[in-house]
Amino acid sequence: MPALLRSRATDGRYAAFVHRLPGYAERRYVHQQAWKVVVMSEKSFTARASAGEEHVEIDGQDELRYKITTPDSAGDAELTPERLYAAAVASCLQQTLKITAATGDFDLTDATATAQVTLEHDLREGYRLSVTAGFDLPNLDDEVRDGLIARTLEACPLTNPPSVVLEEQPQPA
């Protein structure tokens, strides 16, 4: 079921809209435009990683098949899960920025979003990723830029911890 986001601003000031869906955490969106409705639909994608051939394939398409390697043995032009995640976060931030900015009259010419992903290892706690996000929004004043970045980080699905559900695997007979 699509989620409906509504926003309203009065006297040119930011107005907040609280978005609630059953079973989802409450999200707050702040926009600067008269009523506008954005319809979000659900999309699902599947990636399959093979240990034998060390590749990842997206949606079963050969043209979306990439050789992957571990961070320790990666060369400059080789993909690792961390590099793929950094690309996913940066592109998700950029797309979320565009969607968030669509509710106002913002100049995003030359706007960029970056994500630096670091794989950390602690002998006691194991592996984890840390992400440092950055934005370059040269055509916006500081207050507008800061508000837009805050809303983008809040709305981006990759900057919020995803829920991972383990798929049941058939047992061998």
Q: How does pLDDT run across 137-152, given as a tens digit for each residue? A: 999 999 999 999 999 9
Q: In this structure, is residue 164 part of a structural domain?
A: no
Q: Is residue 63 part of a domain?
A: yes
Q: Looking at the structure, tell me whether residues 60 and 97 fall in a common domain.
A: no
In a shared domain, residues 37 and 107:
yes
Look at residues 24, 53, 74 and tell me which one is the last residue of a structural domain: 74
Burial code (b: 16+ CB inside 10 Å, e: under 16) for 43-71 equals: eeeeeeeeeeeeebbeeeeeeeeeebeee
Domain that holds residue 63: 44-74
86 and 134, same domain (yes or no)? yes
Please say if the pLDDT value at position 28 is more than 90.
no
Rg (CA), the chain: 20
Is 162 within the bounds of a domain? Answer: no
CB 110 within 8 A of CB 139: yes
Joined tokens for residue 172? 């061998």
For the segment 74-91, the average pLDDT, to the nearest whole number, is 87
Beta bridge partners of 122: 126
Residue 108 DSSP label = -
Q: What is the pLDDT of residue 110?
A: 93
Domain match, 57 and 95 both? no
Which of 127 and 75 is assigned the larger pLDDT?
A: 127
Among residues 101, 106, 112, the alpha carbon closest in space to that of 152 is found at 101
pLDDT at 38 over 80: no
67 and 128 belong to one structural domain: no
Count structural domains, the chain.
Answer: 2
pLDDT at 54: 83
